[in-house]
Amino acid sequence: MTPDTAGNFPQRITFADAQRIVSTVAHATRLPIERIAVEQAGGRVLAEELVAGIALPSFDNSAMDGFALRACDQASDGETCLRLVGEQFAGRSLALTIAAGECTRITTGAQLPAGADSIVMKEHARVEGDQVWLQRSVAAGTHVRRAGEDVQPGDHILAAGERLTPAQASLAASLGMADLAVHRRPTVAVFTTGDELRAPGQTLAPGEIYDSNRTLLQNLLRAEGLDPVAWPILTDDPARMRALLRDAADAFDVVITCGGVSAGEKDFLPQLLSELGRIHFWKVLMRPGMPLLFGDVGKAQVLGLPGNPVSVLATFLTCGRDLLNGMQGLARPRQRLHARLTRDLRKAHDRREFLRGRLDHGDDAILRVTPHPADGSHRLLGAADSDCLLVLPEATQEWVEGDIVEVLHYA
């Protein structure tokens, strides 16, 4: 997108187009791959397919502490008495074998002796010298974990593009994988802009406000597993903004600014971005967040979020998060959640709207969402009182209680 001769950016794109552009850019700027220790891999996006090299379990073993036996040796009525011929604890295999009428002591996870096919729990047996009396009989296979019942060698375990959950990372560890190929995480610089901003803890002069977006953005980014670097508050000084933006773009993968992207006299960022680099889009048919700006300077992607706190939240959750995830190679889109509205809703425009809301369950256990009554993208209390955004599509203007809407969970 390029400015017209007057330096304006007249176009407004739909939210769907904005998302498409974000995803295309993210794909084109996918971050390089690095190998990291499997213990560190939770939350990272896998960059390789994982194929099992071994079976899981890798040998037949006991699921209980007890005695390993042959099910066919049990008496058809009354107690069974077997001869205790050894002990196999979890750890190095003693390669024990049992023959007819014999059993071994065994602990959970210990290799099953050859010949054994069942385990009787120790609570159901009585030991007298080398004799073991079984108080219960078990079917063949009881409490035995079979080799390969979970995973077979050659099984495709995980696909590239998955964000590794703790269970997935530990599955890789259980297959003996010490390190995994993942995409590097983006480095992110955060700028808040505005002559009116002061850091919390300072004294406010009339007309000034505390910088809350810096805290919001840093915490949103940390929740994504990133480690943002917040630069000092930028005053509305285009020369200084230009210098710092260029510096940050040299050193970071992503630069996120907030404020200074609307149509006010002090909103310099769109013009600066077009001079220093490129604009992918400016202004999206969404509410809040309409003046959202996206472009690049050199190798850095620059996301210019509007200054109003709720706009920061909505644009970050809907576009910023997708950019950062896409750059890390995340293949799967976020799971879409839907909930039943607890009250009627109206909107008086044809943009996509993101309302703050709170999720809970009704007596029928179906997810429901209550829109927060606070309107206005400056009202942070409504955001703090909510846990999701309701996604209201462009074409619909009215909803009644019980209608199903899409919701986007903050977390």
Amino acid code (one letter) for 358: R
Out of 34, 150, 196, 406, point to the residue binding ligand AMP (CB under 6 A): 196
Neighbours of 139 (CB within 10 A): 9
Assess 211 for contact with ligand AMP (CB under 6 A).
yes
CB 325 to ligand AMP: min, Å: 24
Instruction: Please state, in angstroms and rounded to a whole number, the distance separating the CA atoms of residues 368 and 376.
Output: 23
Instruction: Please state, in angstroms and rounded to a whole number, the distance separating the CA atoms of residues 42 and 225.
Output: 10
Instruction: Pick between residue 103 and residue 245 the one whose CB is nearest to ligand AMP.
Output: 245
Q: Which stretch binds ligand AMP (CB under 6 A): 8-16, 147-155, 171-179, 257-265?
A: 257-265
Amino acid code (one letter) for 166: P
Assess 213 for contact with ligand AMP (CB under 6 A).
yes
> For tokens 């108080």, what's the residue?
135
Out of 113, 194, 288, 320, point to the residue binding ligand AMP (CB under 6 A): 194
Contact 113, 104 (CB under 8 A): yes
Assess 218 for contact with ligand AMP (CB under 6 A).
no
Instruction: Pick between residue 176 and residue 264 the one whose CB is nearest to Mg ion.
Output: 264
Sign of the CA dihedral 347, 352, 355, 361?
A: positive
CB 268 to ligand AMP: min, Å: 10
Task: Please count the residues of this chain forming the interface with ligand AMP, following the rule CB under 6 A.
Answer: 20
Amino acid code (one letter) for 125: A
Indicate which of Mg ion, ligand AMP, none lies near residue 258 (CB less than 5 to 8 Å, by partner kind): ligand AMP
Assess 194 for contact with Mg ion (CB under 5 A).
yes
Q: Which stretch binds Mg ion (CB under 5 A): 61-69, 142-150, 252-260, 310-318?
A: 252-260
Q: How far is CA 185 from the centre of its chain?
A: 13
Rounded to 5 degrees, φ, ψ at 348 are: -110, 25
Assess 197 for contact with ligand AMP (CB under 6 A).
yes
Per the structure block, which two tokens stand in for 122? 């120790």
Indicate which of Mg ion, ligand AMP, none lies near residue 197 (CB less than 5 to 8 Å, by partner kind): ligand AMP
Assess 260 for contact with ligand AMP (CB under 6 A).
yes
Rounded to 5 degrees, φ, ψ at 206 are: -55, 135
Amino acid code (one letter) for 179: D
Assess 309 for contact with ligand AMP (CB under 6 A).
yes
Instruction: Please state, in angstroms and rounded to a whole number, the distance separating the CA atoms of residues 335 and 391.
Output: 14
Instruction: Please state, in angstroms and rounded to a whole number, the distance separating the CA atoms of residues 67 and 113.
Output: 10
Q: 241: helix, coil or strand?
A: helix
Instruction: Please state, in angstroms and rounded to a whole number, the distance separating the CA atoms of residues 92 and 111.
Output: 8
Assess 66 for contact with Mg ion (CB under 5 A).
no
Task: Please count the residues of this chain forming the interface with Mg ion, following the rule CB under 5 A.
Answer: 4
Instruction: Please state, in angstroms and rounded to a whole number, the distance separating the CA atoms of residues 214 and 267.
Output: 18
User: Can you give the length of the chain in residues?
Assistant: 411
Contact code string over 154-193 relative to ligand AMP, x by CB under 6 A:
--------------------------------------x-
Instruction: Pick between residue 295 and residue 307 the one whose CB is nearest to ligand AMP.
Output: 307
CB 257 to ligand AMP: min, Å: 10
Sign of the CA dihedral 25, 225, 227, 410?
A: positive
Assess 215 for contact with ligand AMP (CB under 6 A).
no
Instruction: Pick between residue 58 and residue 262 the one whose CB is nearest to ligand AMP.
Output: 262
Instruction: Pick between residue 64 and residue 310 the one whose CB is nearest to ligand AMP.
Output: 310
173, with CB counted inside 10 A (0-12, 13-18, 19+), is middle
Rounded to 5 degrees, φ, ψ at 31 are: -80, 155
Assess 259 for contact with ligand AMP (CB under 6 A).
yes
Out of 189, 258, 369, 388, point to the residue binding ligand AMP (CB under 6 A): 258
Binding to Mg ion (CB under 5 A) within 302-321 occurs at 307
CB 289 to ligand AMP: min, Å: 11
User: Which residues contact Mg ion (rule: CB under 5 A)?
Assistant: 194, 259-260, 307
User: Which residues contact ligand AMP (rule: CB under 6 A)?
Assistant: 192, 194, 196-197, 209, 211-214, 258-262, 264, 306-309, 378
